[in-house]
Amino acid sequence: SSELTQDPAVSVALGQTVRVTCQGDSLRRYYASWYQQKPGQAPLLVIYGKNSRPSGIADRFSGSSSGDTASLTITEAQAEDEADYYCNSWDSSGYRLFGGGTKLTVL
């Protein structure tokens, strides 16, 4: 199906590692891109492709993929990483897909 599924909420202790996942059939063929969105701000690209970070994105952000699941991993999570995270890909018809978003809380 042409959908991307994310857990609605995830929490992590300060300084620990957290994985945010995204599941969908399209991810068997295409890589996911990941976006961080803080309240009142536009989404910000943090990971794309196999595991690429745009300039300026901290190296504690990394991406991986296995089968129909893509993952965003944040190593040594910081307070400023608390945000909503969205995955994105596209389907065989060329329609772009977004996951429903995961609210990350840093405890």
Other C-beta atoms within 10 Å of 2: how many? 13
Other C-beta atoms within 10 Å of 94: how many? 6
Cβ proximity to other proteins, 5 vs 73, nearer residue: 5
Give the interface with other proteins as residue ranges (CB under 8 A). Answer: 29-31, 33, 35, 42-45, 48-50, 54, 86, 88-90, 93-101
**Triad 88, 58, 56: Cα angle to 5°:** 85
Quote the least distance from Cβ 14 to other proteins, whole Å.
Answer: 26
Quote the least distance from Cβ 97 to other proteins, whole Å.
Answer: 7
- Cα separation, 32 vs 26, whole angstroms: 9
Cβ proximity to other proteins, 12 vs 36, nearer residue: 36
Quote the least distance from Cβ 4 to other proteins, whole Å.
Answer: 10
- Cα separation, 107 vs 40, whole angstroms: 21
Cβ proximity to other proteins, 38 vs 76, nearer residue: 38
Quote the least distance from Cβ 60 to other proteins, whole Å.
Answer: 19
- CA-nearest of 76, 82, 73, 71 to 36 is 82
Cβ proximity to other proteins, 13 vs 95, nearer residue: 95
